[in-house]
Amino acid sequence: MITTQNQDVIFLTDLRVRTIIGINDWERRVRQTVAIDLEMPTDARLAAGSDAIDDTLNYKAVAKRLISFIGESRFQLVETLAERIASIVLKEFGAPWVRVHVHKPGAVRGANDVGVRIQRGDTGAGARRDVYVAVGSNIEPDTHLKLALDELRRRFGSLRRSTIYRNPAVGFEGDDFFNMVVGFQTSKSVEAVAAALARVEKKAARKRTAERFGPRTLDLDLLLFGHQVIDNPEFQIPRAELTKFAFMLRPLAELAGPVVHPTANCTLAELWERSGLDEHPMSAVDLK
C-alpha cells in the first residue's frame, strides 16, 4: 500500500494524446485519443520557500515526455500503456510513487469512458531511510563545503556530519581536498536524492567531465541509501569506492560505525579497521 498521509501531491489531468492503441485491425491503423491523469508526490514547502523549479517535480517536463512517448507508442492494451507511463515517471523523474489513470473514451459502445487506474512505486514510500553522502572539494573548499551543507540542510532537513579531513589529491597532481560525510533521513526515492545532489553540484558550478580524477569545486557521492543494494547503469549503491579510499571510508565509519554494510556483512567500523587505509595522510580541519 502506498502511503500518502501528509504528502503534497502534483496532479495532471486530462492530458490528451492521439496514438495507436487497441486489438482490432482498424485500431492498428487509426490513431485514437487517450487521456491521462497523474498524481505524483512533491514537497511543496521546499519549492514554495525557494520559488525555484528545481525544487519540485516539473510537471511540464513530465507532460512533454509523456506526449512524445505516447504519441510514438503502439500498444494493444491500456494496461500496458499505464505501466509504461508509471515506469517513466518513477525512473526518469524520481517520483517515489505515482497514480496513473488511462482513459480510452468511446472504446465501449454505450459508455462515456473506459480505462485503467493503477498506482506504482516503492511500497515503503513514506518510510524514512538513512542516507550517507560523501562531500569533497579542492577548489575554494571552505566556500563550497559550506554551500553543500546549507543546500543539503534546506532540501533534506537535519544533517549529521563527520569530521572534515584534509588529504592529498588522489589520481592526479593538484591541491589538497577537504572531505567529509553527511548523513540525513529522507522518504524520497534514490532517483530524487541523486537529482537533488546533482543540482547542488550545479550551484557550485561543477562541470562533469569524462575524467575520473581531477579538481572539483564540489563532489557529492551517494554512498549508502538505507540497506538497499542497487547495481545498474545509473546507480551503484553501496558505492564501490567507499571501501577503497580513506577519504570516503574513514569519515563514513566515524559517522555511522555501527551500520552494517549491505553487502560486506560487517559494520562500517569493522571495514575501516580491516581496510589498511589508515596510513593514508589525513588531517582534521575546520571550516573558516
The residue from 60, 91, 104, 188 that is catalytic is 104
Q: How far is CA 125 from CA 3, 5, 142, 234, in A?
A: 6, 10, 36, 21
Q: Which residue has the cell 494524446?
A: 17
User: What CA–CA distance (Å, rounded) separates 106 from 244?
Assistant: 60
CA atoms within 13 A of residue 228's CA, in its CB half-sphere: 21
* 279 within 8 A of 244, measured Cβ to Cβ: no
User: What CA–CA distance (Å, rounded) separates 27 from 197?
Assistant: 45
Distance of alpha carbon 114 from its chain centroid, rounded?
A: 34
SS3 251: helix
Q: Which residue has the cell 510514438?
A: 72
Choose among 133, 137, 157, 132: nearest CA to 147: 137
Burial class, 199, CB count within 10 angstroms (exposed 0-12 / middle 13-18 / buried 19+) = middle
Active site residue 104: yes
Choose among 81, 79, 59: nearest CA to 13: 59
Cell numbers at residue 180, please? 567529509
User: What CA–CA distance (Å, rounded) separates 269 from 134?
Assistant: 16
One-letter amino acid at 185 equals: Q
Q: Which residues are catalytic?
A: 104
